Amino acid sequence: MEILIKRLYENATLPVYGREASSGIELCALTGVVIKPGMTVLVPTGIAMAVPVGYIGLVWGAPTMVVGNPIKVTTAIIESRHRDEIVIEISNTGTESKKISAGEVVAQLLVQQVHHAQLIEAEDLSSSH
């Protein structure tokens, strides 16, 4: 599978898999930002992607933003029809301001295949098909 990526700004960091065994594609901040306690900000990545039809991109927190870290990424879905800039919503649940630098990994994108189910109207859901 190939995913087309468009750099919207010259200084945007192109997404990559951080390591060969990584499951997520690293998404980086286009610009630096300070997130004050209790604040939620939108962090631009400066890139747009063309996820192929039949797949979706799931935006998750980067591995560095795990349990115990007050910086939380809002989970999002990038549909195959989405062609605009990918913007990451990040909240600071801590008590101290946190700085994110330009080029810093802020989220990861997991690309997964989507299957369309056959939807059948039923009066009774007790039996299985």
Indicate the DSSP class of residue 123.
S
Total structural domains in the chain? 1
Nearest of 20, 18, 21, 25 to residue 2 by alpha carbon: 25
| Structural domain of 49 | 4-113
Write the DSSP assignment of 43-96 as a string of letters: EE-SEEEEPPTTEEEEEEE-TTS-TT-SEEEPPEEE-TT--SPPEEEEEE-SSS
CB 75 within 8 A of CB 57: no
Asked if residue 37 belongs to a domain, the reply is yes
User: Alpha-carbon distance 67 to 79, whole Å?
Assistant: 27
Residue 59 lies inside a defined structural domain of this protein: yes
pLDDT tens for the 129 residues of the chain, in order: 899 999 999 999 999 998 777 789 999 999 999 999 999 999 999 999 999 999 999 999 876 655 667 889 999 999 998 899 999 999 999 999 999 999 999 999 999 999 989 999 988 888 665
In a domain, 121, yes or no: no
